[in-house]
Amino acid sequence: MRAGWVRALWTTDHKQVARQYLWGGFGFLLLGGLLALLIRWQWAWPGQPVPGLAWALPESRGALTPPAYTVLFTLHGLVMIFFAVTPLLFGALGHFVLPLAIGARGFAFPRLSAAGFWAYAVGGALVLASFAVRLGPASAGWTSYPPLATPAFTPGVGQTLMTVAILCVGVSAFSYGLNFVVTVVRCRAPGMTWGRMPLVVWGLFYGAVLNVLFVPVLAAATLLLLLDRVAGTQFFIAGAAAVGGGGDPIVYQHLFWLFGHPEVYILILPAWGMVGDFVAYFSRKPAHGYRLTAGAMGAVTAMSGLVYAHHLFTSGLSPVLGRAFMVLTLLISLPAEVMFLNWLMTLWRGSVRLTSPMLGALATMIVFGLGGITGLVLGAVATDVPLHGTMWVVGHFHLTMGAASFLAVFAGLYFWFPKMYGRALHEGLAKAHVLSSAVLFVGVFGGQLAAGYAGQLRRLYDPYQYTYLKPLLPLNQWTTACAFLLGASQLLFVGNLVWTLWRGRAAEPNPWNVGTLEWTCAASPPAPDNFATVPVVLRGPHVLSQPDVQQQLGRDWMGQAEVAPLGGTE
């Protein structure tokens, strides 16, 4: 019995690794979400005891104190980005679907997948352990800017543990990035040309390229920071704390954002891919401008490292660099617009089916659209200055990389769950979950945008210390109410999941009537080797509503590897 358990955990089967990431990611999503609700509580009822938190903060009878609050927003950001959303998108959905969708028997480096998960698990364990150490967990913000993140100003062991934890997830992200890239380049089934890959594979591939390129930059910055913390080096220390020399804190900011901005695209590229596919599947129409969309995603990938310094517009950046990064940042919105218009064109004159993955994709489109549009003023120097460091920024990036990638995770999960576990989730509950989440996301992050426009700075324990922010209390309370409802609406998902795994009905082999390899050539759930025989791919992923297919097969879709009875299609 125990041996079987251990064998399951040490598996190198990509589907099992995906399930491990799924549960790990959900655990940290829950943790990150609860931390977010505590932050929201503090802004609605500053200094009031949080019901049920007295055990954790006995001295203040459950009220958040400034040190507790700094821990909250630091860990919320770190946990959500590094331990929840990225692992869910790449670790869970990516690991599960990528080999299946390209007709591979597994990853190019199966042991690397497993090792990557264990690096992630060690990192996660360090984060959890940091709650128990003296002086508490990390508190220098998710960006960990030095000198604040150095021991002179944040002496706790928790900050060191978090630095090591980030290195661990860096190892994990680099390993699956490398694995994904090599697998897509080398392990596609015969006939699976670049132009026949589902868009989600494109998204995962580009995201993996960004992981390979930019996660090492983060690792370098984090490693130097770790040396500053434990080995007495002074790479990033200046000012009073610099004894005998010292370095430059700005170098860290450049390194961090050279990773940090591409990370936004790491999170959103798989989501874009899913939206592109799902909109086509559930409009029963080929994706409009497939090559344009894949090309636009490639353009964003190529430019992603060239826009990072708009995070440094207020750091005293030289006007030459400021102008260059303003132009590049605005320019990156052009491919995004091409992609968005392609999605809209795919919907138009389709036969739209509002399944739960489709609702998830449409919701992702909406929140991503709103998030992208609210980012334009942050890309231009003049308008960035008044908004920099305010809740406007928080609302903007939560819409794009929080709400959009979260909704995409659920769209993907609702889509592939029958394949993953062989059971069908309840559609009604899934739809209610997606809809309520989307509406409440817009409520929460729209409220943040409004507060930011009115000048509320982010990361303030008590914003109302500032007189000019006092009138924002009702707005913040309204936003907090939305956030709590959002948290509560996740019970729709949890209930659905528990019920389905316990009592759910067996899924049909191809519930969505699509032609991609995972649905047409593999069992649900797939066998350890994925396919009985390696499929030979004959056509693209979106052969839907083609008249000759309808005539010959009596259905509106055709498998990517399906041999046509009378002559080929496409």
Partner 1 sequence: MGGVVGGEARVRPDLSPAPLILAESTPGPGPSPSEARDADPAHPTPVRSAPPANAVTQSVSEQASTGRAWRLAPPEGASTYGPQVDALLERSHVFEAGLAAVMLAWLVLAVWRFRGARPVVAANGGTRRSRAWVVGLAVCVFIGVDGTLFLGSERYAREVLWNLDVPAKDSRTVRLEINAHQWSWEARYAGEDGRFGTPDDVVTWNDLRVPVGVPVWVQVVSTDVVHGFSLPAFRVKLDAIPGRVNQTWFQAAREGTFEVACYQHCGTSHYRMRGLLTVLSEADYARWLREAGRLATQAYDADDAAAHWGWEWRAP
Residues 422-451 that bind partner 1 (CB under 8 A): 450
Distance between CA atoms of 199 and 241, rounded to whole angstroms?
Answer: 50
Residue indicated by tokens 């990390």: 138
Q: Which stretch in 200-208, 358-366, 414-422, 523-531 sits in contact with partner 1 by CB under 8 A?
A: 358-366
Which residue type is seen at 531?
F
Q: Closer CB to partner 1, residue 13 or residue 277?
A: 277
CA distance 169 to 121: 8
Preceding amide of 535 cis, omega within 30 = no
Toward partner 1, which CB reaches closer, 388 or 423?
388
Interactions with partner 1, residue window 389-418 (CB under 8 A): 389-390
Site for partner 1 in 253-292 (CB under 8 A): 283-292
Pick 106 or 541: Cβ nearer partner 1: 541
CB 397 within 8 A of CB 264: yes
Give 113 or 222: the residue with its C-beta nearer to partner 1.
222
Closer residue to partner 1, CB minimum distance, 396 or 419 = 396
Selected binder of partner 1 within 61, 348, 494, 527 (CB under 8 A): 348
Task: Give the gyration radius of the chain's Cα atoms.
Answer: 24
**Which 184-213 positions form the footprint of partner 1 (CB under 8 A)?**
none
- Footprint (CB under 8 A) of partner 1, residues 225-244: 237-242
Instruction: Write each residue from 53 to 72 as x if it is in contact with partner 1 (CB under 8 A), else as -, in one continuous string.
Output: -------------xx--x--
CA 456 to CA 72: how far, in whole Å?
18
Which residues pair with residue 423 across a beta bridge? 506
**Which one, 261 or 310, has the nearer CB to partner 1?**
310
- Cα–Cα distances in angstroms (integers) from residue 65 to residues 48, 58, 324, 378, 476, in the given order: 10, 11, 42, 31, 19
CB nearer partner 1, residue 100 or residue 280: 280
Binding of partner 1 at residue 354 (CB under 8 A)? yes
Task: Give the C-alpha distances (Å, rounded to integers) separating 225 from 107, 122, 134, 305.
Answer: 33, 20, 20, 22
Residue among 334 and 523 whose Cβ is closer to partner 1: 334
Residue 462 interacts with partner 1 (CB under 8 A): yes or no: yes
Distance CA 418, CA 7 (A): 24
Q: Is 556 in the site for partner 1 (CB under 8 A)?
A: yes
Among 58, 244, 547, 565, binds partner 1 (CB under 8 A): 547
Give yes or no for residue 330 binding partner 1 (CB under 8 A): yes
Segment 132-161, which members bind partner 1 (CB under 8 A)? 139-141, 145, 147-148, 152-154
Buried b (16+ CB within 10 A) or exposed e, 205-217: bbbbbbbbbbbbb
Contact set for partner 1, span 502-541 (CB under 8 A): 540
Q: Give the CA angle between residues 183, 207, 407 to the nearest 5°.
A: 115
Per CB under 8 A, 555 contacts partner 1: no
